[in-house]
């Protein structure tokens, strides 16, 4: 019996040792700005990262894994869509650093963003995934990746109309 308890305790300690803390927070720390700008620049051509801060174009959040910036998202509160201000958000930009992709961090960051919006009384989030990106797979063949599939399949976003590229999700 003691042998089983020791093994279970060992396995539990192994799992908790690799547990990582993911957060989504406003970009406020100066030391995070350079990392967020690098991720942004790797994924988007325009606008420049500094333009996001000018004229209050967007609010910028960073996705943090422990104390490391692994992603960036920029959104705007949209009050033109409803009479009660700030009940809608439009996510303009969302990117996870390439070395952290395909590990579930993007979905986790989006869920945290949705939870934060829900707590603030936001009812709807909209976004426009960028066009398909063309890349080479490990064999050297051309492959296309549709970013909207991530939002549709993993996060249950729906097109606002059959021919629209804009996706939406109603928060409950």
Q: Could you report the per-residue pLDDT of 2-25, keeping only the tens digit for each?
A: 554 434 433 333 333 344 799 998
What pLDDT is recorded for position 127? 85
CA atoms within 13 A on the CB side of 162: 0
Average pLDDT over all residues of the chain: 76
Give the whole-angstrom CA distance, residue 66 versus residue 128: 29
Confidence of residue 84 (pLDDT cuts 50, 70, 90): low
On whether the 21-170 domain is CATH 3.40.630.30, my answer is: yes
Contacts of 60 (CB under 8 A, 6+ apart): 26, 27, 36, 52, 53, 72, 73, 74
What pLDDT is recorded for position 58? 82
Per-residue pLDDT for 104 more than 60? yes
Per-residue pLDDT for 144 more than 60? no
Instruction: Express each pLDDT in 26-80 by its tens digit.
Output: 888 888 988 998 888 887 776 677 777 666 678 889 999 999 999 999 888 776 5
Angle at 57 between CA 42 and CA 101, to 5 degrees: 30
Give the whole-angstrom CA distance, residue 74 versus residue 76: 7
Q: What pTM, to 2 d.p., does this model score?
A: 0.74
Q: Which residues pair with 62 in a beta bridge?
A: 25, 72
- Give residue limits of the domains in the chain: 21-170
What pLDDT is recorded for position 112? 94
**3-state SS class at 79:** coil
């Amino acid at each position: 019996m003691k042998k089983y308890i020791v093994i279970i305790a060992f396995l539990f300690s192994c799992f908790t040792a690799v547990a990582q803390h993911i957060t989504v927070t406003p970009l406020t720390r100066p030391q995070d700005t350079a990392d967020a700008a690098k991720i942004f620049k790797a994924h988007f051509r325009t606008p420049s990262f500094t333009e996001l801060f000018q004229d209050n174009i967007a609010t910028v959040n960073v996705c943090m894994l422990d104390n490391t910036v692994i992603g960036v998202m920029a959104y705007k509160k949209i009050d033109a869509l409803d009479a009660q201000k700030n009940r809608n958000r439009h996510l303009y930009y969302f990117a996870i650093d390439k070395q952290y992709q395909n590990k579930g961090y993007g979905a986790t960051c989006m869920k945290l963003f949705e939870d934060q919006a829900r707590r603030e009384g936001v009812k709807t989030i909209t976004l426009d995934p960028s066009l398909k990106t063309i890349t080479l797979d490990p064999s050297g063949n051309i492959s296309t990746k549709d970013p909207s599939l991530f939002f549709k399949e993993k996060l249950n976003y729906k097109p606002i109309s059959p021919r629209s590229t804009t996706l939406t999700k109603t928060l409950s």
